[in-house]
Amino acid sequence: MISKRDQSKKAKNPFADFIRNGKSEQKKRVYGEVLIEATKQQNIVIMEAETRRA
């Protein structure tokens, strides 16, 4: 259960501040970019593993 005291705390870092206070449109854009970059990195790891197997 979240108390009023917990809700009044300010974010301790910029990321937490963004998560709590960022607009939905901003979050969607950032999450989309993160997912694209994560997918690229995963594909690189998969390709490197496949070349090592060959």
- Residue 11 pLDDT: 59
Are the C-beta atoms of 45 and 54 separated by less than 8 Å?
Answer: no
**Higher confidence at residue 28 or residue 1?**
28
- CA trace torsion 22, 28, 30, 34 (10° rounding): 140
Q: What is the per-residue pLDDT across 7-53, written as a single tens digit (0 to 9) for each? A: 556 658 999 999 999 999 999 999 999 999 999 999 999 999 999 99
- Residue 12 pLDDT: 84
Residues found in the chain: 54
Q: Nearest to residue 28, comparing CAs of 53, 7, 36? A: 36
- Residue 54 pLDDT: 79
**Segments making up each domain of the chain, as ranges:** 22-54
Distance of CA 48 to the CA centre of its chain: 24
